[in-house]
Amino acid sequence: MSIEVRPATDFDDVAALVGPKKPTSNVCFCLSYRIGSAENRALRGDKRAKRVRELCHQDPPPGVIAYLDEEPVGWAAVHPRRETSFARNRLIPHVDDLDVWSLWCIRVRPGHRKQGISHALIDGAVAHAKKSGAPAIEGYPVDNRGETVNLTMAYVGTMGLFESAGFAKAADTGSTLDGFPRVLMRLDLRDPRKRAKKA
């Protein structure tokens, strides 16, 4: 079985992965970091799903989806940081002025965990950001020091998961989740030769 990661342009697949069980519920759809908090709170009932449908038709879409034999099994939220709440988040630092992309949510469908889907999602998010011209991509996982992370809070990923994808710690943050500190992990996507000329 092969895992393929594609841009999240299909609303039904996004809804299957991060939509609430009750379609009119005012939670999830992975919007809390993607749009402003005022808009996020204001979206009620079917307006929430409608807003996500709109995002799926934008360029770039709101994330990427992992497919296993054409079945959507995983989701990663990835987008230019300037268009997310991380642009204004006081707890997550900006380490430089690069127009970086943020990768902030990794979800694998129950029944499909421990199959390498999280790794494929990060690799797919990186490829998507690079193809879209991102100079770098960063994530904000927990430094769980090998301890178990509550599955409900595991959506941010772990430091080890990001390290295995080639990311390196760029900064500490002021944020914690489930009792663990979150760190800023960064992967430079620029051509090494161009980086050397600018240095």
CA distance 104 to 197: 31
Q: In this structure, are residues 73 and 109 in contact, taking their beta carbons and an 8 Å threshold?
A: yes
Question: How many residues does this entry show for the chain?
Answer: 199
CA-to-CA distance for 13 and 127, rounded, in angstroms?
20
183 has which bridge partners? 172
Rounded Cα distance, 46 and 119, in Å = 32
What was the pLDDT predicted at 16? 94
Rounded to an integer, what distance in angstroms lies between the CA atom of residue 58 and that of residue 80? Answer: 13
Q: Which one-letter DSSP state was computed for residue 173?
A: E
Taking residue 173's Cβ as centre, other Cβ atoms within 10 Å add up to 15
Q: For each successive 10 residues of the chain (199 residues), what is the average pLDDT? A: 93 93 74 88 87 95 96 97 94 96 96 92 98 97 92 91 97 95 97 61
Ordered strands of the 136-139 beta sheet:
3-7, 63-68, 71-80, 101-108, 136-139, 180-188, 168-177
pLDDT (0 to 100) of residue 194? 60
Cα separation, 89 vs 135, whole angstroms = 20
d(CA 194, CA 18): 38
Contact 86, 92 (CB under 8 A): yes
pTM over 0.85: yes
What is residue 124's three-state secondary structure?
A: helix
Classify strands 136-139 and 3-7 as parallel, antiparallel or unpaired. unpaired
pLDDT at 1: 66
Model confidence over 45-63: pLDDT tens digits? Answer: 788 899 999 999 999 999 9
